Amino acid sequence: MACFAVNLRDVIFMDQPVRIGDTKEEAFGQLGYEVIAQAEHGPLLVEKRTGETLQVHLLFHTDRSTLPYRVGFPIFVSNLVEAAWQQAGLAEARAIATGVLPPLAATPNQGYRLEGPARQRHEMRSDADGRLTGLPAPIAGEYVLKGDDGSTQRIGASLLSSAETSLATLDRIDFNDQLSVKAAPAPAKSDRSFWWALAFAGFLVLLLEWWWFQRGSFTTA
């Protein structure tokens, strides 16, 4: 038998879990558990998913088995860590779709109103887990999320304007009605590399050193 790509066939268990009475494997599924590894008299390893939470349960004592002394034990732990990274969304980079705001945390089952640039308004309710998804953001700017309880949350959406995504230069950038940045007419000063001066100085030193040790041969000739 295998769990998380680890073979448990040769592992010796001093204490094996035993199902009570006529309990069947379907009973674990009714409780939300999935049997990953099965022994002769009961499951060895089960997992349960609750929303975005993944729980893995070992139904035996590892100190009363030979699992910690097997090569597959560090592989098993490594696979658990990788599964945790994937469950938390840290194993890969996921880009947020343009045109919508990222999922927001809110109070469960509460009404919210989203106010955006150009007097845009959108109303929706959060789900039972307290998440708001699919909020539209077609225009770059600041969006204000207001809840029925009086809470206010400000979210900025950018990279939707052609002026921000194009490679053309701009003479002026307006962030809001009160702040703007103008381009400098002269090029910005930067530190110039002086490696060529050091190389030239080193060449003169080597030339002087070569002449100093070879001056006798020139006199003899």
Domain residues of the chain, as ranges?
Answer: 2-88, 104-177
**pLDDT tens digits, residue range 79-113?**
888 888 887 777 666 656 667 888 888 888 889 99
Q: Average pLDDT of 182-190?
A: 71
Residue 73 or 203, more confident: 203
Q: How far apart are CA 221 and CA 206, in angstroms?
A: 22
Query: Percentage of the chain surpassing pLDDT 90?
Result: 5
Amino acid making up residue 76: F
**pLDDT tens digits, residue range 22-54?**
777 778 878 888 888 887 777 888 888 887 788
| pLDDT for the residue 91 | 66
Pairing of the two strands 104-105 and 33-38: unpaired
What helix, strand, coil percent values describe the chain, rounded to 5?
A: 30, 30, 45
| pLDDT for the residue 2 | 41
Q: What is the largest CA-CA distance in the chain?
A: 112
b/e 166-195 (16+ beta carbons within 10 angstroms → b): eeeeeeeeeeeeeeeeeeeeeeeeeeeeee
For the four alpha carbons of 25, 30, 36 and 37, in that order, the dihedral sign comes to negative
pLDDT-derived band of residue 158, with 50, 70 and 90 as boundaries?
low
Give CA separation, 118 vs 135, 155, 159, 165, in Å: 16, 15, 17, 20
State residue 25 phi and psi, 5-degree precision: -65, -25
What are the tokens at 56? 């893995």
Q: Comparing C-alpha atoms, which of 148, 144, 153, 152 is closest to residue 117? A: 144
| pLDDT for the residue 201 | 93
| pLDDT for the residue 202 | 92
